[in-house]
Amino acid sequence: MSLKSFAAGIYAKWTRRQINRWANNPIETQQKVFKNLTTKAKDTAFGKDHNFKNIQTPKDFAKQVPIRDYEQLKPYVDRVVDGEKDILWPGLPLYFAKTSGTTSGAKYIPLTKDSMPTHIQAARNAILSYIAETGNTAFVDGKMIFLQGSPELSETNGIKTGRLSGIVAHFVPSYLQKNRLPSWEVNCIDDWETKVNAIVKETIHQDMTVISGIPSWVQTYFEKLKDASGKPIGDLFKNLELFIYGGLNYEPYRPKFEKLIGRKISSIELYPASEGFFAFQNEQNDKGMLLQLNSGMFYEFIKSEEFFEDNPKVYSLDEVEINQNYVLIISTNAGLWRYNIGDTIQFTSLKPYKIIVSGRIKHFISAFGEHVIGSEVENAMKIACQQHQCSINEFTVAPQVNPDKGLPYHEWWIEFDQPPKDLNQFTETIDQSLIEQNSYYKDLREGKMLRAIVIRSLPAESFNAYMKSIGKLGGQNKIPRLSDNRKIAEQLSKLLKS
């Protein structure tokens, strides 16, 4: 055992004790966070506009501050982008995390001297929690690869600006720099395909022990490695122990990963976003992720089915229920106030508070009132792949409201890696799983308002071709699992015909 791995074991146990202190006192922890946020921001422009100095309780807060998304908060953000101080949070941000927006174009999410450390600490604590639970420390001596955006940053009125993953690359601690791949030069390559090929050349002869990234893009990296070496990934990297991921549900990809690797490896799910690092998996046998209650973020929740009502009820942490779908509302030490990030979550545990990401409030299908969400289609795909011993590269789902004949249906666009022997049985399994999970879908199917799902099988590289066509190939970009419109389906249809 090296000195580094020995020290990691000791540090991991200490960190777990610190985490347990706030995790076992969740309400008190959140009250302290709330008080600190409103006190520190009372003299900002936003704080003055919303009378923060007279806010004493979350109920006062809710009366004074409306729930907003980025477009609604944008007038304040624009002032920060223009270089004004003390607008959303004291002073100026350290960075802007630039993300692609929808109606408002590019989004500039502020990262402050108070919020930036919480991103780094949560990522670190996820790995340390794994070490504390398993006792495995040998992997810290091997090479670690992080598939991420370029660390090259631009400037916006003197504030460094880039992708969150690129910004975080500047905070890799010195004791990990020698272990970290790809190199700085390779990481700065913009073109995704060129970058992956360079990463393959740089890592193929290394002792890789940890790999991190979005599952779909790590899968591409593994496939290129296997093609280049002629070996399973597990033979190429004999000490590969851990896969760290976020951004997409790993389960639809797990069979393909295990096939590519040639064995099972441990995994840790993270829930990071530009707006905050919200949760991480802290136990290997529990799919729930520990909600970060002590990271400068105050949480509120709205039931998904009530979200689009006038004045929906807002639930506090001590009011939430297990297995209920909630829209996540955050207030942060980066100056995001009662901010709707667009994600939906479900609690899997209340002691401690653990969550899973169930989808996006804008990514659902309810063309017929069925309210099908991301976690339901992902679970249906997982069940079908397991039962029919097949694997996929990618998929997305869209409604077909006006078919040429017959009843409308949900259209599943799937790029198979290993197709099922019987596509009809595979289709039936998915449809039945949706019926069992979603009562609205069940009623529509039994009431002859919808027919069974229809699967369109796509050739290899179809989704990569689609992402390339819209300029979003690689990095942290990902395909929406489902949409309430046919924009993606129409583009995939063109690719299928070409």
Q: Is 216 helix (H, G, I), strand (E, B) or coil?
A: helix
Give, to the nearest 10 degrees, the angle between helix 215-229 and helix 192-203. Answer: 50
What confidence score (pLDDT) does residue 498 get?
63
What confidence score (pLDDT) does residue 214 get?
85
Class of domain 1-361: alpha beta
What confidence score (pLDDT) does residue 45 get?
98
Q: Tally the residues of the chain.
A: 498
Handedness of CA 173, 145, 95, 331 (dihedral sign): negative
What confidence score (pLDDT) does residue 103 get?
41
What confidence score (pLDDT) does residue 475 get?
63
What confidence score (pLDDT) does residue 102 get?
41
Task: Please state the rounded mean pLDDT for residues 372-382.
Answer: 87
**Range name among 281-285, 370-374, 411-415, 438-442 with the lowest pLDDT average:** 370-374
Q: How, if at all, do strands 266-273 and 276-280 pair? A: antiparallel
What confidence score (pLDDT) does residue 104 get?
47
Percent of the chain's residues with pLDDT above 90: 64
Cα 118 to Cα 57, 113, 203, 252, 325: the distances in Å are 24, 10, 30, 30, 26
Burial pattern 383-397, b for ≥16 Cβ within 10 A else e, equals bbbeebebbbbbbbb
**Range name among 41-50, 214-223, 391-400, 429-438 with the lowest pLDDT average:** 214-223
What confidence score (pLDDT) does residue 95 get?
97
277 versus 213: which is more confidently predicted?
277
What confidence score (pLDDT) does residue 176 get?
67
Question: Strands, DSSP E only, in 61-164?
Answer: 95-99, 107-111, 143-146, 154-156, 159-162
| Domain-wise residue ranges, the chain | 1-361, 364-497
What confidence score (pLDDT) does residue 369 get?
74
154 versus 147: which is more confidently predicted?
154
Percent of the chain's residues with pLDDT above 70: 96
Burial pattern 216-247, b for ≥16 Cβ within 10 A else e, equals bbbbbbbbbbbeeeeebbbebbeebbbbbbbb
pLDDT digits (tens, 9 = 90+) for 320-375: 999 899 999 999 999 999 999 988 999 999 999 999 998 777 667 777 778 788 88
Mean per-residue pLDDT of the chain? 90
What confidence score (pLDDT) does residue 70 get?
93
166 versus 434: which is more confidently predicted?
434
pLDDT digits (tens, 9 = 90+) for 188-218: 888 888 898 999 999 999 999 999 988 878 8
What confidence score (pLDDT) does residue 342 get?
86
Task: Please state the rounded mean pLDDT for residues 245-250.
Answer: 82
What confidence score (pLDDT) does residue 246 get?
87
CB-based contact 9:137 (threshold 8 Å) = yes
Task: Please state the rounded mean pLDDT for residues 445-461.
Answer: 91
